[in-house]
């Protein structure tokens, strides 16, 4: 019984990155507009308080030209994947200490999955 529980937990952990990519882009757009759009644009070349999030999935951090990133973000070398975005969006300041973003995060995994699906569509 204990072995089955461990096996189930391991499988659930392996499935999570795929689940992040399976969110609803339309629902993610609504969350983005309500939560993110004041500081981030979803269009290419438009920086606000935060950098443009156009084509962010797969992009290297701190790579948008003409944006003043924090030293913490410049030091981040891990590309923005659904998995890294999920961790960051859950708790930006806890995930990358020293970032400028004051947003507390999206605590709901479904909301994060939907926003990530929306961001994946921005190409």
CATH class of 2-120: mainly alpha
Cα 58 to the chain's mean position, in Å? 11
Q: Which residue has the tokens 């969110």?
A: 23
Q: What is the pTM (predicted TM-score) of this model? A: 0.81
pLDDT tens, 43-92?
Answer: 999 999 999 999 999 999 999 999 999 999 999 999 999 999 999 999 99
Strand stretches in the chain, DSSP E: none
What CA–CA distance (Å, rounded) separates 98 from 44? 26
- Phi and psi for 113 in degrees, rounded to 5? -60, -40
**Predicted confidence (pLDDT) at residue 37 exceeds the cutoff of 70:** yes
- Phi and psi for 80 in degrees, rounded to 5? -80, 100
């Amino acid at each position: 019984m204990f072995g089955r529980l461990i096996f189930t937990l391991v499988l659930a952990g392996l499935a999570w990155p795929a689940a992040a990519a399976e969110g609803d882009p339309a629902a993610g757009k609504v969350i983005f507009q309500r939560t993110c759009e004041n500081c981030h644009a979803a269009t290419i070349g438009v920086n606000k308080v935060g950098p443009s999030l156009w084509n962010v999935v797969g992009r290297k951090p701190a790579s948008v030209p003409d944006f003043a990133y924090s030293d913490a973000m410049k030091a981040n070398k891990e590309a923005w994947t659904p998995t890294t975005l999920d961790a960051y969006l859950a708790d930006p300041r806890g995930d990358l200490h020293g970032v400028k973003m004051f947003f507390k995060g999206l605590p709901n995994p479904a909301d994060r999955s939907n926003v990530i699906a929306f961001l994946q569509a921005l190409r």
